[in-house]
Amino acid sequence: MWRVGERAFDCSERTLVMAILNVTPDSFSEDGRYFDPEEAVRHAARMVSEGADVIDVGGESTRPGSDPVPVDEEIRRVLPVIERIVEQDSNVPISIDTRKAEVADRALLAGATVVNDVSAGGDPGMFDVVRKHDAAIVLMHMKGEPKTMQQSPEYEDVVGEVHEFLRERVEASEFAGIEAERIAIDPGIGFGKNLEHNLELMRRIDAFLDLGRPVLVGPSRKRFIGAILDAPEDERVEGTIGAVAWMVSRGAHVVRVHDVREVVRAVRVIDAIVRTGR
């Protein structure tokens, strides 16, 4: 069970689709096309019509090599979009993709109900903000910072080390007063991992199920898919669906993607095969 605002998603019944809405001028895949708030809100409505369960709004690119964005600028980017989406459709949960407690606080006040934190509570104030708003949170593993995370990342046991990190962060968030059913975990595919690390994490995604929380995965259009297919960002839909299909069939509960319609259709078929009769 994953409690998001007033919603309670039973993740054993079907796969949830979290739709990516980057309101940045430098997102790795969308080239700033949704930086304009009006276009961002229209795109959110399209993704909801295509079957998105959650809209994940981000105002700071965390692509490899990206620079951090000041708090005020990140708030300026995301707040108008969140407010407009809430006005238009209050039934679809909104996630704020941020690692800053102050940004999360403002977004939750505006109507978001999830914090998708790539630093898993790295900001000392993040857990307090999430608890105060009775929000949900996604705890993600990232080795290093976006600026440098892809500069020769090393692990002795990538699955074991990521598992231990997430176990500790779940424990820390619960100790801070966040209800267990509001916590999801994300192994951070593409965040401080090379191609083999990413493949191993996906190959053994079921290793994270014993943490007892919904497992969210985000392979969408990532660089490792481009490396396998020798394809640019806008030609990685099939590769994304392949990665999603593998991980959902092995227990992943939530998929974070750009191409909502295609992935919603794919996971409906996968769920019919895998989840029916369990």
Active site residue 213: no
Residue 157 tokens read as: 């046991």
Paired with 254 in beta bridges are 16, 216
- Angle formed by the axes of helices 101-110 and 71-88, to 10°? 20
Residue 151, classified by CB atoms within 10 Å of its CB into exposed (0-12), middle (13-18) or buried (19+), is: exposed
Alpha helical stretches, state H, the chain: 37-49, 71-88, 101-110, 126-132, 158-175, 195-203, 223-229, 237-249, 260-274
Active-site option among 77, 99, 222, 236: 222
Active-site option among 256, 261, 268, 278: 256
Helix-strand-coil percent breakdown of the chain, rounded to 5? 45, 15, 40
Active site residue 256: yes
Alpha-carbon torsion, ordered 100, 172, 202, 154, to 10 deg: 80
Residue 138 tokens read as: 């996604």
Q: Catalytic residue positions? A: 222, 256
